């Protein structure tokens, strides 16, 4: 019977399923990095989500670890290569969060188009600002999707159903319908990023690329913090090159720097605290996939 540590929230039914299958489960879903380093040697498996990082130094202390399970898509918070060198399997749940992220992106796009957050703020302050809040419609607009994997393709399908023209770029997919990044930036009215973190995508939308966009573009960032240059985005918003942005991920979470406080404080920015996968349904799907993986390795 393997011993498993749950480091981030997992659906209760999934925890019960693992225990019923014989996995010895400890739930410490608010464990700090320091506490995790002290106890990780006791476990054959750990479950993490976006909050908990698994760097090489932590892996070196994991003397009994067989598997790291990431409840979610990206693995950039885990030193995968180092884990594999140590003979530790790394697994994730790539399908479970997709719909939740896509629905948030669509909601943020519509909120940007119709000035929803500004209207709500004005009403709560007792101001009737109807004449100042004329918006636009997303139907007929071009959505540029950077990164056309599972989430990008699902977003494209749903955006088309709402009447949007969809163009995408992805250097890892051979498809004649895909554009290069420069051509996509030139035609998109809305841009949504769906790329992994890491050196290849760091500051993918930098000052130079933001200047290649259509003036008045809207940008939605719900993939990985650091893929949009936040200083460059702030300056593009201030100049009007970018009309508005919706941000769910950041280079530091929670945001602490003066730059990030200025960025999220702009009236044309909608900021949410990394809630892309935070739905009841997604949590249940993640739990089911986590349970299946944990049982296969540890039961």
Which residue numbers are catalytic? 224, 253, 274
Which among 275, 259, 265, 214 has a CA at the least distance from the CA of 241? 214
CA–CA dist 255, 225 (Å, integer): 11
**CA distances in angstroms from 292 to 21, 36, 73, 284, listed in the order given:** 10, 23, 16, 12
Strand partners, 192: 145, 220
187: tokens are: 């035609």
CA–CA dist 236, 53 (Å, integer): 32
HSE of 272, CA atoms in CB hemisphere, 13 A:
20
**CA distances in angstroms from 169 to 92, 160, 192, listed in the order given:** 24, 16, 11
Whether residue 38 contacts residue 281, with contact meaning beta carbons closer than 8 Å, is answered with no
Helix axes 230-239, 258-265, angle to 10 degrees: 40
Which among 11, 20, 84, 21 has a CA at the least distance from the CA of 47? 11
């Amino acid at each position: 019977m393997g011993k498993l540590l749950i480091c981030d929230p997992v659906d209760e039914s999934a925890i019960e399923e693992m225990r019923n299958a014989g996995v010895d489960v400890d739930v410490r879903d608010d464990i700090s990095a320091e506490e995790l380093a002290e106890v990780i040697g006791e476990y054959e498996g750990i479950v993490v989500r976006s909050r908990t990082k698994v760097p090489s130094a932590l892996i070196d202390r994991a003397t009994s670890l067989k598997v790291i399970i990431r409840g979610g898509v990206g693995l950039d918070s885990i030193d995968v290569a180092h884990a594999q060198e140590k003979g530790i399997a790394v697994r994730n749940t790539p399908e479970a969060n997709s719909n939740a992220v896509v629905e948030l992106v669509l909601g943020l796009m519509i909120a940007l188009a119709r000035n929803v957050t500004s209207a709500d703020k004005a009403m709560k302050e007792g101001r009737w600002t109807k004449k100042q809040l004329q918006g636009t419609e997303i139907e007929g607009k071009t959505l540029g999707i950077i990164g056309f994997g599972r989430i990008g393709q699902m977003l494209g399908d749903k955006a088309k159903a709402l009447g949007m023209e969809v163009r995408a770029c992805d250097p890892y997919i051979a498809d004649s319908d895909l554009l290069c990044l420069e051509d996509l930036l030139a035609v998109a009215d809305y841009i949504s990023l769906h790329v992994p973190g890491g050196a290849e995508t760091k500051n993918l939308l930098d000052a130079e690329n933001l200047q290649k966009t259509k003036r008045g573009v809207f940008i939605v960032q719900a993939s990985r913090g650091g893929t949009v240059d936040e200083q460059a985005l702030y300056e593009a918003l201030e100049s009007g090159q970018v009309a508005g942005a919706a941000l769910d991920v950041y280079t530091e979470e929670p945001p602490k720097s003066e730059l990030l406080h200025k960025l999220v404080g702009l009236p044309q920015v909608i900021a949410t605290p990394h809630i892309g996968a935070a739905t009841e349904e997604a949590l249940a799907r993640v739990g089911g996939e986590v349970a299946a993986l944990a049982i296969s390795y540890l039961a």
